[in-house]
Amino acid sequence: MERRRFLTAAAAMAAAGLLSGHAPYRQWVVYRQTHLVILTSRDDPGADDLGEQCAAVMRTVLPDSKAAVGRGPRVQRIASLIATRQAEVGIVSQSNATAMYHGAAPFGDIGAIPLRVLVQNEVYRMVCREDFPQQHGYLIAEALAGGDADLGLVVPRTDQTEIPVHAGAQAFATGVPLEAGESK
């Protein structure tokens, strides 16, 4: 009888936990609304290192960004999170960025993602969705490609990449001032 009572109580507690709505997903939504999460993947240590450097610069130059690195197990996870609007910014190799943009292997099951390039170096690109706010793109480009960042990142010229350059990053690169309050 004790065993039956224990199993019933354990099942009731498990059901209460599942039905209570305390899923970690809700906490992730709140976290990414208050922090700029730069996605990297554990399978690319170079991108991960660059992500850490970018987050450190962002926390210094734009402390309100509360920039942090979010690591996925593989680059496909970055594509999935950006495609489903669960994340906004990622650092991936140039070849992976191009494959994501076209929906080519290894991202074929995700499909083409409407990416834009914020900044890049010879190996990596920081990418975002096309609907990433213009003001945010401008500020990120200014922090990482301008000033004293010294990360070797630049806003690419439009003829340097088949992925379009983000409008905010392009405005920064061409010296167009961004109006206060402008968001797209």
- Residue 33 located in a structural domain: yes
Between residues 155 and 150, the one the model is more confident about: 155
Token duo for residue 156: 């690419």
- Residue 105 located in a structural domain: yes
Q: What phi and psi values does residue 90 have, to the nearest 5 degrees?
A: -145, 155
- Residue 61 located in a structural domain: yes
DSSP state for residue 3 in the 8-state scheme:
H
- Residue 63 located in a structural domain: yes
- For residue 20, pLDDT over 60 is answered with no
What is the amino acid identity at position 81? L
Residue 159 structural domain = 24-173
- Tell me the average pLDDT across 100-113: 95
- Tell me the average pLDDT across 161-175: 94
**Residue 180 pLDDT:** 53
- Residue 16 located in a structural domain: no
pTM of this structure: 0.80
The pairing of beta strand 68-72 with beta strand 37-41? parallel
- Residue 163 located in a structural domain: yes
Token duo for residue 43: 């399978």
**Residue 158 pLDDT:** 81
d(CA 57, CA 19): 41
- Tell me the average pLDDT across 46-55: 95
- Residue 57 located in a structural domain: yes
- For residue 21, pLDDT over 60 is answered with no
CATH code of 124's domain: 3.40.190.10
Q: Which of 180, 79, 56, 175 is nearest to 127 (CA)?
A: 79
Between residues 23 and 73, the one the model is more confident about: 73
User: How much of the chain, in percent, has pLDDT values that exceed 90?
Assistant: 70
Contact 91, 38 (CB under 8 A): yes
Spacing of C-alpha 177 from chain mean position: 25
Look at the chain and report how many structural domains it folds into.
1
**Residue 156 pLDDT:** 94
Q: What is the mean pLDDT of the chain?
A: 84
Rg (CA), the chain: 20
- Residue 129 located in a structural domain: yes
